[in-house]
Amino acid sequence: MEKYITLTRTIDAPVARVWQAWVDKHQLQQWWAPNGFTNPVCEVDAKVGGELHIVMQAGDGMGPMSGMKAPMKGVFTEVIEYKKLVFTNVALDESDNHLLEGVTTVTFEEMGDQTKLTVHTGAAGTAPGVEQMLGGMEQGWNEQLDKLSASFGR
């Protein structure tokens, strides 16, 4: 099973600041993940061949999901500063088995003091539970991009 989505946001911040939010692990850690999740592990090395490793964890109040961990990793395959990031994305179980695999492309377009951000991402997999994971992909990405936009405080 596979799914692909494209999401666009106009963010009220210059390209350089939005770019930093993607390549600085401390900033990325603040917004990456859907609502109710934190990122106890967030490593990013935004260069070709550099790795991305994030572990999202459901917080208290998330019912049966409370404390659940959702690790992911990837490798950057294209990095054009202030313009484009392309990385593989692999959703893992807690034993590092691959559940979903895909590619994410993020483009940054300067629009005066704003940035047009476009995320095209997809994933495919055959592991048990993949349908549910893919079913929540668009909502999860929308929630984390909303958190990214809100992090600029305007």
Output the CA–CA distances (angstroms, integers) from residue 73 to 23, 86, 100, 105, 112, in the order listed: 15, 13, 11, 15, 33
pLDDT digits (tens, 9 = 90+) for 3-61: 999 999 999 999 999 999 999 999 999 999 999 999 999 999 999 999 999 999 998 77
Task: Output the pLDDT for position 154.
Answer: 56
Q: Give 6-26 as a DSSP string.
A: EEEEEESS-HHHHHHHHH-HH
pTM equals: 0.93
User: Tell me: the pLDDT tens digits for 46-98?
Assistant: 999 999 999 999 987 767 777 788 999 999 999 999 999 999 999 998 788 99
Contact of 55 with 33, CB cutoff 8 Å: no
